Structure 1
Amino acid sequence: MSSSQIRGRPRRATAHIRVRVAHAVLGALVGVGWLVLPVMTVGARHPVPVASAGAVASAASPRPAGASTADLVLPLVAGVAAVALAGYGCVRRVRRARTRTTPGTVATRPPVAAPPDIERQARTALRLADDCVRTSREELSFVRERFGEQRTEPFTHAVRAAETELSAAFAIWRRYEEGVPGEAGARRQALVGVTGRCAEAGRRLDAQAEALDRLRGLTTDAEGMRAALGVAEERFRELAARTMAAQRTLAELRERYAPSATGSVTGYVEQAKDRLVFAGARLNEARQASDVGETRRAAWQLRAGEGAVARTGVLVGGVERLADQLREAAGLLPAALTGAEPEVAAARRTTPGPGGPHARPAPADGLRAAVRGETGRTPPTSDGPPARTAHADGVLAAVREELTGGRYDPLDALRRITRAVERLTGVRSGVLDTAALLVARGSVAGAEEFVGAHRGAVGTEARARLAEAVRELGAGNAGRADVVAGEARRLADRDVRAHGTEGDATGLAGAVLGGILLAEDTDGGPPPAFGGPRTRSRLHG
């Protein structure tokens, strides 16, 4: 019996068992005593006190010859009975222990799911709920484009409510990953809470799925199908032009900036082209199926085409967003350098030691050592104020050299400046705060685009980090949001590589990677639709 089972035994039950054992032992001792007493007195001349001579003595009758044997029978029977009762009580206790349902035993209780099982359920629920919210939001954009804001308000409200529940679930999960709460029972309850929040998000979407289908009329109204095809095809033609422009924009960015500046969108244009090819084929199939009255197949093809169009928009939008932010960062960089210099100078005046008022800035030929936090003479032995001041001096000097040395990465330069100053002073203000916010927005948007475009392979950890980055950005913690968004992107990259489609993200494999098809069948399965776990696969078959 384990220590937890022992601790779980009720005190009343333990005391009751002890009383029964004591009674059994007492009965056995009484029986044995009764047996032994006649044997101890059988050889005595006067086994009982001798009474005085008189009437009593004369009235006593002579003792029978077999009286000594009869005296042994009754005590023997009593002893055997006591032993039998004790044995019977022991058997009953063993039998009751095997069949009882009180908290100290687990023989007849249903097995409780182990924490790893509950954790796997929570992971699955988070990923599924996140996919449902993303898909519902994307399909709703096509519906809103046709019917307007007012008629689609109930569906918009459902998506927002689901997003709120999902955000709360991710927040609970993140605290769970950090070890909060620490008690085993509370951790299980936290995982149950995660699963419950995800289920509520799915329920909100499931409740509106049928109403959205009635509004669209894809399988019941030929006119509704033609109108939906018109919206999707119009967006398809717009994205085809934007994809060509994004290819030219990306080539220009690579000529102007360092390779690291465009590394986050590597392969986006090629993937966007593949998604366009897939979307075009699906939309053509949908129109042909609609013309011959195969409404179910037409709806299937339309939703697959809409999903591919939406992924193309994410990929092309990522290139366009990066181009805008790089231009903004390049324009902001001189002002950020100017704003950082007085902060570092003030810290240098108040810092004793190697970084104090008599310290000289790092020489130009020692930029790498300065960026690592070294003073040019001896490396600091701790992360104290002198080391941080020297590090900030080195960062500013290195950025100035990059500005005059050719291609550079404006966003990364702003990131290094703002982090160095915040590490030195603990705060940011003015232009540095604007720079930090620009960097954080770029990091969060980049991670969001990557996860959205590769959702078929991205796991729970990356999605949870992304949700945390969004929360930190909304709370104004730009530095923290930037760091967590970077973690989300690295985790998502790892998941995509592990998925095995990094070198073959085209055609059907690309559609599964992007979550355009649910991969439930050998042909890729159905496309997901607006709704939660119960309704999102309703176009199957």
Structure 2
Amino acid sequence: MRIARLVAIILTILSIGLLAAPPAGAQPPFRLPDYVTDDAGVLTASDRDAVKSAVNRLYTNRHLRLWVVYVDDFSGDGSVDWAQRTIGLSELGDHDALLAVATKGRAYAFLVPPSIPGISQSRVDKLRRNRIEPALRDGDWGGAAVAAATGLNKAPSPSSRRLLLIVLGVIVVAVVAFVIVMRYRERRRRARALAAARRVDPTDARALAAVPLEALEDLSRSMVVDVDNALRTSSNEVALAIDEFGEERTAPFTQAVDKAKEALSQAFTVRQQLDDDTPETPAQQRELLTRVIVSAAHADRELESQTEAFEKLRNLVINAPSRLDLLTQQYVALTTRIAPTEQRLAELHTEFDAAALTSVSGNVTTATQRLAFADHAIGEARDLAAQPVSGQQAALVDDVRAAESALGQARALLDAVDSAASDIRRAVASLPTMVADIQASIAQADEQLQQQSTPQSPHIGDLMAARDAAARAVHSFRGGTATDPLAAFARLTKADADLDRLVATLAEEQATAERLTRSLEQALFTAESRVRAVSEYIDTRRGSIGPEARTRLAEAKRQLEAAQGRKSTDLSEAIAYANAASALAAHAQSLANADVRSSQRATTRRGSNNAGAVLGGIIIGDLLGRGMRGGMRRGMGGWSPTSFGGSSGSPGGSSGGGFLGGGGRF
């Protein structure tokens, strides 16, 4: 008796387990890969062709997409619930309908968005009951899908058209009446979206996947500017710390800045790809923007990792008096340089065209403003240091750092004038040699062309064009148009490089390779001087310069590094990279000039007393405190997880929530 009872219990447990097990062919909701998905394998080749043809006609006639999916079973979910979750996973929108069929489970769902003109609940229900369900009941799987597409493809009735025209008229009137309000709301919406995006962990690519594409664009732009400002400020602060504490004690901070530079460089490289003339798909844009944000965030984290240690090392409150004495000495020394530098700049203006001095033309005026700001900051700091009051130590540190930064920028501005003078004079001194080189190249090209009795080489036409371009460049220089020596040097360098490259292709002579080497050195000099000038310009005006100029400069630096890396392997390719770097640097200068002019107009309208300090990026918060803590501020709530999905649909046979139609058994 006991054995029989035990066997009965075991059989009962096994029966319950078998009843509770999911069907063998159950298919959970998934992202649809195509308009027709037959995971149940019930469509013949002719059925699939008929369904695809009907789906294509529907889209051609009404721009309505019908998605059809066949599975064995709906994995225990209600048909409508399964369909709604599949719609969510597939990101279907207001012009996407879905027919989902469980062939073995004998259940289906047919959901249609309510926004389609001429489509109503009653019409969808009639189509479902009178055409789709009978076909499914008879096992005509393809016929059910064709019936769904054909039923949706019918034109709306005249009354529906009239109603549609009335609705459209009302919409047009509403749009015209509220266009200003809508624009205001759009700005508010974008601002809220950007604020929400800032609360997401910028190093988490999976979390960023939930951020709208538009917000990602805004976030990436603001991040590269904020982190670049923080990195530039941090670099200056670390340089000062090295002078004060030595390289050994500041090694961790130097490493943090170097790692941040590497990460930010990756962000600028991707930003350049987004800004070029080649369009990207939304998916590509999202992937690239995510890379920009993640790279910039990693740069920010590298700076943040050393913030606390750096703050302790640079505790300026302890040695503020001696530090202020040193800053006063620096202020006096830089002040004595103003008049000579101004005279030197005036001499350069009489000697060279204004275009050659764009990057330094306002440096003396700007340096004077920085020195005045530094003098004011030093005075305030001395007052605070002489009368220490609880709660004012942070203000003392801020004043000392502001003075240090202002003096550093003034020094860089004055040094830039000296560098510009030496660069231009070097270009002037090198121009005769450059002209002689290009004339020799022209003569060698003529000799090569004379030796070619027939145009056997495909490069003959290119060589002739390059020779003519080089001759025009020489003629332009001799005609007195070289008011900008660097620009003239760049034109002659490019013409000579192009000509030498083609002569090398035809002659294959070692002498040509030597001239290519000289051309590379000249191209590198042009690129390096331009990149340096633009970098100094942005560094001393970083408070007003946006992401476009910085991106072009970062790309110019990358191209310059590529040129330097190919000096020993491919001279022609290295020259091309150097010329590209020079062109990008010139474009960056133009963009930076426009940003500065715009910011100057804005600060003039606001009447700010510290306009120069704002343009220079000095007053942007608490300098390295902001820089080493990162330009990006996290929300007080930390990083919030993002959830997907929503409420489940109704059981099979009921309405599809926000969709017309429903489902059931057949």
Q: TM-score, normalised to structure 1's length? A: 0.70
Counterpart for residue 198 of structure 1:
296
Counterpart for residue 56 of structure 1:
none
Which residues in structure 2 correspond to 1:362-441 (within 5 Å)? 384-402=462-480, 408-426=483-501, 429-441=516-528
Is 1:473 equivalent to 2:548 in the alignment? no
Of 258-267 and 481-490, deviating more is: 258-267
The CA deviation at 1:458 is 0.9
The CA deviation at 1:469 is 0.8
The CA deviation at 1:105 is 5.2
Which residues in structure 2 correspond to 1:95-134 (within 5 Å)? 95-98=81-84, 103-104=89-90, 112-134=210-232
Counterpart for residue 236 of structure 1:
331
Instruction: Identify the match of residue 250 of structure 1 among 325, 340, 345.
Output: 345
The CA deviation at 1:174 is 1.8
Query: Using the alignment, how far apart are the partners of 1:446 and 1:500 within structure 2?
Result: 20
The CA deviation at 1:136 is 0.2
Counterpart for residue 362 of structure 2:
267
Q: Is the 8 A contact 2:227 2:632 kept in 1?
A: no
Query: Using the alignment, how far apart are the partners of 1:286 and 1:455 within structure 2?
Result: 24
User: For structure 2, which runs of at least 5 residues remain unmatched after alignment?
Assistant: 1-29, 43-76, 94-206, 454-460, 503-514, 564-576, 635-666
Is 1:93 equivalent to 2:79 in the alignment? yes
Query: Using the alignment, how far apart are the partners of 1:414 and 1:105 within structure 2?
Result: 56
The CA deviation at 1:244 is 2.5
RMSD: 3.7
The CA deviation at 1:154 is 1.2
SS, match of residue 455 in structure 1? coil
Query: Using the alignment, how far apart are the partners of 1:116 and 1:296 within structure 2?
Result: 38
SS, match of residue 517 in structure 1? coil
Q: Deviations over 1:310-354 (max 9, x none)?
A: 2212211211110111121121111111111111122233348xx
Q: Deviations over 1:379-410 (max 9, x none)?
A: xxxx95434322211221332343xx9x8432
Instruction: Identify the match of residue 401 of structure 2 among 286, 303, 313.
Output: 303
Is 1:489 equivalent to 2:594 in the alignment? no
Counterpart for residue 617 of structure 2:
515
Query: Using the alignment, how far apart are the partners of 1:111 and 1:130 within structure 2?
Result: 24
Change over 3 Å in CA distance of 1:535–1:349 after alignment to 2 = closer
- Give the structure with the higher percent strand: 2
SS, match of residue 475 in structure 1? helix
Counterpart for residue 457 of structure 2:
none
SS, match of residue 350 in structure 1? helix
The CA deviation at 1:286 is 0.9
Q: Which amino acid aligns with 1:413?
A: A
Q: Deviations over 1:13-32 (max 9, x none)?
A: 8989xxxxxxxxxxxxxxxx
SS, match of residue 359 in structure 2? helix
Is 1:164 equivalent to 2:225 in the alignment? no
Of 525-534 and 142-151, deviating more is: 525-534
Is 1:325 equivalent to 2:423 in the alignment? yes
Percent of matched pairs sharing the same residue: 29
Q: Is the 8 A contact 1:441 1:473 kept in 2?
A: yes
Q: Which amino acid aligns with 1:154?
A: P
Is 1:344 equivalent to 2:442 in the alignment? yes
The CA deviation at 1:92 is 4.8
Of 128-137 and 289-298, deviating more is: 289-298
Change over 3 Å in CA distance of 1:103–1:430 after alignment to 2 = closer
Q: Is the 8 A contact 2:438 2:470 kept in 1?
A: no
SS, match of residue 613 in structure 2? helix
The CA deviation at 1:209 is 1.3
Change over 3 Å in CA distance of 1:13–1:326 after alignment to 2 = same
Change over 3 Å in CA distance of 1:529–1:233 after alignment to 2 = farther
Query: Using the alignment, how far apart are the partners of 1:333 and 1:445 within structure 2?
Result: 21
- Give the structure with the higher percent helix: 1
Change over 3 Å in CA distance of 1:14–1:136 after alignment to 2 = farther
Instruction: Identify the match of residue 529 of structure 1 among 598, 603, 625.
Output: 625
SS, match of residue 151 in structure 1? coil
Q: Is the 8 A contact 1:418 1:432 kept in 2?
A: yes
SS, match of residue 290 in structure 1? helix
Of 302-311 and 130-139, deviating more is: 302-311
Which residues in structure 2 correspond to 1:1-12 (within 5 Å)? 7=33, 11=37
Q: Is the 8 A contact 1:129 1:533 kept in 2?
A: no
The CA deviation at 1:276 is 0.6
The CA deviation at 1:190 is 2.3
Q: Which amino acid aligns with 1:232?
A: L
Q: Is the 8 A contact 1:129 1:532 kept in 2?
A: no
Counterpart for residue 446 of structure 1:
533
The CA deviation at 1:199 is 1.0
The CA deviation at 1:156 is 1.0
Q: TM-score, normalised to structure 2's length? A: 0.58
Change over 3 Å in CA distance of 1:10–1:499 after alignment to 2 = farther
Of 94-103 and 304-313, deviating more is: 94-103
Counterpart for residue 566 of structure 2:
none
Counterpart for residue 376 of structure 2:
281
Change over 3 Å in CA distance of 1:199–1:142 after alignment to 2 = same
Query: Using the alignment, how far apart are the partners of 1:102 and 1:503 within structure 2?
Result: 48
Q: Which amino acid aligns with 1:424?
A: L
Q: Which amino acid aligns with 1:465?
A: R
The CA deviation at 1:513 is 1.0
User: For structure 1, which runs of at least 5 residues remain unmatched after alignment?
Assistant: 17-90, 358-382, 519-524
Query: Using the alignment, how far apart are the partners of 1:178 and 1:297 within structure 2?
Result: 44
SS, match of residue 231 in structure 2? helix
